[in-house]
Amino acid sequence: MGVRKPLIAGNWKMYGRRAALSEIAALHAQVGHVSGAIDALICPPFPYIAAAAETARGGSVLVGAEDCSPVAEDSARTGEVSAAMLADVGARYVIVGHSERRSNHGESNDLVRRKAEAALAAGLTPIVCVGETQAEREAGRVAEIVGGQVRDSVPAGGAFVVAYEPVWAIGGNSTPTIPEIADVHRLIRETLQTKFGDKANRTRILYGGSVGPKNAAEIFSAGGVDGALVGRASLKASDFAAIILAHPAAV
């Protein structure tokens, strides 16, 4: 199977200003020594990606984006940003299908898949988000919802990352239990194996949803967790570094 290098990604969402990019240099100073063992990624808002990439140049921190257009070619799509544009200004990864995009903008599995495919065409690695709501979990539909999102949202070819973010845990104080996290990660891996065979064993699966310095080590202990997708705790280098250094690979 080989060893999957952990990826710990920070999703800044619609927070921060240009001055916040100094946190990237601060993060490098704190975690650069483990860059051979762990990939650290920051995904700032669109206006700051180019400056973030310049700040990160020559360091250990990777830069990505929070979304992209599903259209690969230049076209009349007012307000949209293509994956090729993101790659052109230094992005390496792009998050697609985050629950806030799925719920606030009505993004379907098909649209998320097309965004992931556009990312791959531009040389970016898509991070495909999946996850159930509280009502879906209480109704016993986790396997149906998450399995369906994985089957229908991931691209047919190329290297991608999957991030499991239970919708009810994002931005709150609740997280699934460690066995629950392990169970869903196992479900995702098995779904990928059915679709892709051995390639599934090389695909990194992250956990997201209220990850912070206090619970990161416990979350990383869950079976099948290859890293994390972190929200507001990634805005401050000290907090994000604590999460990264809590991973067993950092030792």
Q: Which of 23, 66, 107, 165 is catalytic?
A: 165
* Range 161-165 average pLDDT: 97
Beta-bridged to residue 127, according to DSSP, are: 95, 161
* Range 11-23 average pLDDT: 97
Q: Which of 23, 66, 98, 132 is catalytic?
A: 98
247 carries an active-site annotation: no
* Range 81-104 average pLDDT: 97
229 φ, ψ (degrees, to nearest 5): -110, 110
Residues of the chain with pLDDT > 70, as a percent, come to 98
Residues 6+ apart with CB under 8 A from 25: 55, 59
DSSP secondary structure string, 97-146?
A: S-HHHHHHS---HHHHHHHHHHHHHTTPEEEEEE---HHHHHTT-HHHHH
Q: Where are the domains of the chain?
A: 7-250
Residue 174 has pLDDT above 90, yes or no: no
Structure confidence at residue 34 (pLDDT): 97
Structure confidence at residue 2 (pLDDT): 55
CA distances from 219 to 3, 102, 132, 210 (A): 19, 25, 18, 10
pLDDT in tens, 40-83: 999 999 999 999 999 999 999 999 999 999 999 999 999 999 99
Structure confidence at residue 1 (pLDDT): 45
Residue 103 has pLDDT above 90, yes or no: yes
Structure confidence at residue 142 (pLDDT): 96
98 carries an active-site annotation: yes
Look up the CATH superfamily of 7-250: Aldolase class I (3.20.20.70)
φ/ψ bin of 167: left (φ > 0), alpha (ψ from -120 to 50), beta (otherwise):
alpha
Structure confidence at residue 215 (pLDDT): 95
